[in-house]
Amino acid sequence: MNVEVGTELPALQVRITRDRLVRYAGASLDFNPIHYNERFAKEVGLPDVIGHGMLTMALAGRMITDWLPDPGRVLEYGVRFTRPVVVPDDDEGALVELSGKIGEVREDGTARVDITARFDGKTVLGKATAVVRL
């Protein structure tokens, strides 16, 4: 792969619906009611049901593995959860917009990918980076 600092990865936009949250809960065994019960979510101070942070992280990871010729080239991946993705009770859900660009190319044949994940115009993942083998 021939990339340089500033190379942009293909963006990814994903709609997270309540139906998708239920499926993710089943796959991850994360049945915290903040991810499906509006009344409970509001009782604990949230604006509404929120998406699983790990689902948002997985979607950002998918953007990287879709770009790479082999997903095994992801050597490191980490994020901080900075803001929740609020998922309305409708058919459209919440739009998560993901983008990435090469922030550093290293002499050892690896590169750092800087990831941006936005919902409602605001960043939802902080310090989101991956190190990949080029």
- For tokens 């915290």, what's the residue? 32
Q: What is the pLDDT of residue 1?
A: 79
> For 99-132, what is each residue's pLDDT tens digit?
999 999 999 999 999 999 999 999 999 999 999 9
Q: What is the pLDDT of residue 48?
A: 97
For residues 5-19, give the mean pLDDT: 98
> For 89-104, what is each residue's pLDDT tens digit?
999 999 999 999 999 9
Q: What is the pLDDT of residue 2?
A: 85
DSSP state of 11: P
Of 3.30.499.10, 3.40.50.920, 3.10.129.10, 3.20.20.370, which CATH number belongs to 52-133?
3.10.129.10
Give the whole-angstrom CA distance, residue 103 versus residue 86: 29
Q: Where are the domains of the chain?
A: 52-133
For residues 24-45, give the mean pLDDT: 97
Are the CB atoms for 111 and 68 separated by under 8 Å?
A: no
